[in-house]
Structure 1
Amino acid sequence: MKKVILASFLVFASLIMQAQDQKWSIEANYPLVANSNLQNDFNGVLDLGIKYRFANVGPVILGAGFNAAYLKNFDNFTYGSANVQDLESDYKAKQFLLQPKLFAELPIPGLSALRPQIGLGYTFSSVDINYDNGDQFIVDDTNTEGGLNLNVGLSYDISKRFFVQVQYDYLTIKFKGESEINGQTSNYDFKEKTGFLKAGVGFRF
């Protein structure tokens, strides 16, 4: 297995070194929830992406990309009062985002290192929430939904292959389904409008 992994790495590295057109790029970002109408605030962990530029229309470069992000919110605390025994509350929430998209880059004349970008795609959102207040109140909810995603960004080339970037994603996702609370099932139907600010680094090959 180690030999297979090493061989795969060497082949990938060789392809990167030989590639001259730089149609591909990979990136790693930190996702920050900029605004949300949800009470469940998530903290960004990591966003990974890959892009392929497949056509030039005049000065505009067209491409396709895919991002995957992971966010979480874990909390554990004890509460109580003079008349209520201390209770330990445990809250765990995870969100995974899968984001395919099409995008366009427009280099700025005289500032070739700067690359504004706009993209339109679709976001698949998977949310898993578990909450136990220590007093027989338990929430266990998992849902997967999707919605349109508008992306705008700006990258800056610090060398021929490496770049830094910042981008903003605006998502509108409609959630509709069932949630289980203390063994009882309840329905929910709401729309989530969320903005993600991402900052990171990338590599072209």
Structure 2
Amino acid sequence: MKKSLLVMFLVMCTYCVSAQNKKWSVEANYPVNVSENDGDIELNGIIDLGIKYRFMDLGAVQLGAGLNTALLRNEDNFIYGGPGFENREFNYEAKQILVQPKLFAELAIPGLARLKPQIALGYTVAVDDYYYNDGGNVEADYSNTNGGLNLNLGISYDLSSRFFIQVQYDYLNVHKKGEETRNDQTYSYDFKEKIGLLKAGLGFRF
């Protein structure tokens, strides 16, 4: 009896793991900022982490929901000077966190089961933190949260039943509106920033 129960338990665990393999995946990507116009803030990708859940299997298409979070930043610090003024310290720090919920469709290619193209549509929340001081007359400091639509195109390749590699492209249209403090003066801004991110990484299905 005990052996039978143990066998039934193992069969159920195997079934559950097999079912989960079709639904969940996590990923870690390296994001590269390929924006044509990044305004006055140049940001470099650090890391992008994501999780996906596939809630509907339509045969050739799987529908799901996902969430990615990316970190981009840049900083610089140096001493400069020249004739007519003393050495000055230049400080520049910029950081951006992107939170990206989305709905996606993962396609199956007949005869190429390991390749899985994907298209997704979602919303991006962009949290910006920016500080600039030229050591002289200009100092700027602001932090703000904005958002906009996000279109994602990607393709993955299964290395095994669990591991896969992938390449994605994110197009973000972020509406930035807020205030910036520059030399103790507050200025308002209102514009749309188009951001392009190219991501390459590794994923795990479970």
- Once residues 17 and 28 of structure 1 are traced to their aligned partners in structure 2, the CA distance between those partners, rounded to angstroms, is 27
Kindly provide the amino acid, as one letter, of the partner of residue 80 in structure 1: G
- Structure 2 unaligned runs (5+)? 1-12
- Residue 6 (structure 1) aligns with: none
Q: Does the alignment pair 1:194 with 2:192?
A: no
Q: How does 1:158-173 map to 2 (within 5 A)?
A: 158-173=159-174
Q: CA deviation at 1:16?
A: 10
Measured on the aligned residues, the alpha-carbon RMSD in Å equals 1.6
- Once residues 39 and 83 of structure 1 are traced to their aligned partners in structure 2, the CA distance between those partners, rounded to angstroms, is 27
Provide, for residues 1-43 of structure 1, a one-character-per-residue CA deviation record: whole Å limited to 9, x for no partner: xxxxxxxxxxxxxx89951121100000001101142231101
- Structure 1 unaligned runs (5+)? 1-14
How many residue pairs get matched?
191
> 1:67, 1:98 within 8 Å by CA — same for their partners in 2?
yes
Q: Does the alignment pair 1:34 with 2:17?
A: no
Q: CA deviation at 1:126?
A: 0.5
- Residue 105 (structure 2) aligns with: 104
- Once residues 102 and 79 of structure 1 are traced to their aligned partners in structure 2, the CA distance between those partners, rounded to angstroms, is 49
Q: CA deviation at 1:189?
A: 1.3
Kindly provide the amino acid, as one letter, of the partner of residue 165 in structure 1: Q
Which residue, out of 17, 20, 26, partners 2:18?
20
> 1:36, 1:192 within 8 Å by CA — same for their partners in 2?
no
- Residue 81 (structure 1) aligns with: 82
TM-score, with length taken from structure 1: 0.89
Kindly provide the amino acid, as one letter, of the partner of residue 176 in structure 1: K
Provide, for residues 160-192 of structure 1, a one-character-per-residue CA deviation record: whole Å limited to 9, x for no partner: 100000000000011111111111111111110
Provide, for residues 94-113 of structure 1, a one-character-per-residue CA deviation record: whole Å limited to 9, x for no partner: 00000000000111111100
> 1:44, 1:71 within 8 Å by CA — same for their partners in 2?
yes
The structure with the larger Rg is: 2
Kindly provide the amino acid, as one letter, of the partner of residue 27 in structure 1: E
Percent sequence identity is: 57
Stretch moving more, 178-187 or 92-101: 178-187
- Once residues 176 and 186 of structure 1 are traced to their aligned partners in structure 2, the CA distance between those partners, rounded to angstroms, is 11
Q: CA deviation at 1:57?
A: 2.1
- Once residues 48 and 80 of structure 1 are traced to their aligned partners in structure 2, the CA distance between those partners, rounded to angstroms, is 41
- Once residues 139 and 16 of structure 1 are traced to their aligned partners in structure 2, the CA distance between those partners, rounded to angstroms, is 58
Kindly provide the amino acid, as one letter, of the partner of residue 79 in structure 1: Y
SS of 2:118's partner is strand
Structure-2 change in CA distance of 1:16 and 1:92 (3 Å): farther
- Once residues 157 and 174 of structure 2 are traced to their aligned partners in structure 1, the CA distance between those partners, rounded to angstroms, is 31
Q: How does 1:128-147 map to 2 (within 5 A)?
A: 128-147=129-148
